[in-house]
């Protein structure tokens, strides 16, 4: 299962080492926004959540702070982004106290943690993913979610063009996201 960006030449440009994986304008706001959507969907401190494509922990930072110790799980195949999130963005004392777990598999395989999850989060992932990859994520959700589990995802039609413009320009930020983001709640059952 390739990276969600590998289907097109434009997408491959977003995999450059110096591209952090998201527009940096409104970085904090966009992370907190994901936490607030999850709270509205019923996230509790003792909920178990897996963040598929967690990147540099843009939402993960807030989620790890909110969730109880051992309740946050992240999957991110781009090791540089994950290291930036864990070693630079997250405070060392929070890392130690909250014990988040991570995996770098590119197969959307949430079974690697051996857990059942109350929440799946895939923000700014389906926008770039193929139908087959989305199907794989939903299969993982059905297999590894608790009864009544919730999958929160976003889809933005214009995001690919914005990210590509940024990657081509080689500098950032070019623009903040202005396109609408759809949050879809999928309930297993």
Ligand X SMILES: C[S@@+](CC[C@H](N)C(=O)[O-])C[C@H]1O[C@@H](n2cnc3c(N)ncnc32)[C@H](O)[C@@H]1O
Contact (Cβ atoms closer than 8 angstroms) between residue 148 and residue 158:
no
Instruction: Say whether residue 119 binds ligand X (CB under 6 A).
Output: no
Smallest gap from Cβ 1 to ligand X, in A, equals 6
User: In this chain, which of 52, 64, 86, 152 binds ligand X, going by CB under 6 A?
Assistant: 52
Position 59 contacts ligand X (CB under 6 A): yes
Binding ligand X by CB under 6 A: which of 53, 74, 100, 149?
A: 53
Binding to ligand X by residue 109, rule CB under 6 A?
A: no
Q: Segment contacting ligand X (CB under 6 A): 38-46, 87-95, 119-127, 175-183?
A: 119-127
Q: What's the Cα-to-Cα distance from 132 to each of 1, 7, 107, 135, 150, rounded to whole Å? A: 9, 12, 11, 5, 20
106 vs 172 by CB, closer to ligand X: 106
Q: Is the dihedral of CA 178, 164, 186, 103 positive or negative?
A: negative
Quote the least distance from Cβ 52 to ligand X, whole Å: 6
**What span, in angstroms and rounded, lies between the C-alpha atoms of 31 and 67?**
15
Tokens of 16: 């450059």
* Helical (H) or strand (E) element with 145: strand 145-155
Q: Which of 106, 112, 134, 146 binds ligand X (CB under 6 A)?
A: 106
Strands 49-52 and 101-103: unpaired
Applying CB under 6 A, the residues found at the interface with ligand X are 1, 3-5, 21-22, 52-55, 58-59, 75-78, 81, 106, 108, 123-125
């Amino acid at each position: 299962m390739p990276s969600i960006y590998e289907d097109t030449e434009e997408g491959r440009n977003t995999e450059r080492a110096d591209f952090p994986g998201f527009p940096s304008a409104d970085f904090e706001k966009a992370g907190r926004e994901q936490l607030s959507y999850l709270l509205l969907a019923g996230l509790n401190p003792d909920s178990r959540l897996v963040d598929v494509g967690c990147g540099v922990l843009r939402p993960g930072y807030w989620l790890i702070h909110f969730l109880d110790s051992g309740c946050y799980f992240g999957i991110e195949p781009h090791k540089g982004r994950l290291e930036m999130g864990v070693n630079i963005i997250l405070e060392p004392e929070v890392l130690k106290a909250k014990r988040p777990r991570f995996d770098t598999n590119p197969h959307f395989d949430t079974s690697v943690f051996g857990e059942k999850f109350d929440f799946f989060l895939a923000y700014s992932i389906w926008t770039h993913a193929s139908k087959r990859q989305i199907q794989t994520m939903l299969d993982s959700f059905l297999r590894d979610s608790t009864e009544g589990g919730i999958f929160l995802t976003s889809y933005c039609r214009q995001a690919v063009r914005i990210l590509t413009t940024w990657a081509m320009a080689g500098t950032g930020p070019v623009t903040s996201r202005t396109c609408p983001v759809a949050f879809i709640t999928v309930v297993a059952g």
